[in-house]
Amino acid sequence: MSSSHRCTNFSPELQFCAKQLLSQIAINKEQLPLPVEVSEFLVSNNSFIKLLLCGSGAIGEEIEVLFRVTNATDLWPSTTATRLMIYSNSKIFRSSTEGLNLFNIEEEIDWLNAYKKYLSDSTSVILISDISATSSSFVQEGEKLTITSNINILEKQVSKLIFTYLNFTLNNDFSYCNDFKNITDENSNVSELFFEILVINEHFLYISSLGV
């Protein structure tokens, strides 16, 4: 949920998945307040947000990255309903295959599809980190997807985060995790911020498993 003095915009997918993520992570759990409970009925399985933050969903052919305005209020949390009534211009946005590109998803589509494929079968994705690459290449041969890229040519933060995640899970390469620099910044949208938390948490769990 995002707000100003004039309006509050509410995304059920983001609210639900953020709570799922924050309830399960090991890092700074007590310092990250949980969002209000939202019914899973309001969450599309094909939402890119569910794919990123819950590590599930996107079961259809097309990942939903657009959002449409809806007036359905029957399953809203009471806290949310009260807040939306206070601000007359408030809107609720639900994941869809048509509508507004609220999170400006463009370059990330190929990376989202690669992440989806990795989550369904980690052995079906190969990532080649090539510092000389000037563009990202996604080559599908049978069940295998081979990606050739490097983080420096990626413009969008979700793409960089997926690259970082795949690079350490597939290649045991933590070079982009160990420089203490966040990929997100003050201009990042909330889905990018939460996904970076997930990536950091996965890195933390792996390092912890090594007894470091």
Q: Are 193 and 124 in the same domain?
A: yes
Residue type, 22: L
pLDDT band at 3 (very low <50, low <70, confident <90, very high): very low
Q: Are 110 and 158 in contact (CB under 8 A)?
A: no
Classify residue 45: in a domain, yes or no.
yes
* 3-class SS of residue 138: strand
- 70 lies in the same domain as 138: no
Q: Establish if 190 belongs to a structural domain.
A: yes
Q: Which of 96, 123, 152 is the last residue of a domain?
A: 96
Parent domain of 46:
2-96
CB 93 within 8 A of CB 102: yes
Name residue 6's amino acid: R
Residue type at 110 in one-letter notation: D
On whether both 76 and 113 belong to a single domain, the answer is no
In a domain, 102, yes or no: no
Of the ranges 84-98, 117-131, 138-152, 174-188, which one carries the lowest mean pLDDT score?
Answer: 174-188
The answer on 167 and 121 residing in a single domain is: yes
> pTM of the full predicted structure?
0.85
Choose one of 96, 119, 149: the last residue of a domain. 96
Q: What is the mean pLDDT of the chain?
A: 83
Looking at the structure of the chain, the number of domains it has is 2
Question: How much is the pLDDT for 4?
Answer: 44
pLDDT above 80 for 75 = no
Task: Tell me the chain's radius of gyration from C-alpha atoms.
Answer: 18
Q: Cα 59 vs. chain centroid, distance in angstroms? A: 15
Percent of the chain beyond pLDDT 90? Answer: 35
Q: Summarize the confidence of residues 137-164 as an average pLDDT.
A: 94
Please, which pLDDT band fits residue 74 given cuts at 50, 70 and 90?
low
Task: Specify the pLDDT at position 112.
Answer: 94
In a domain, 101, yes or no: no
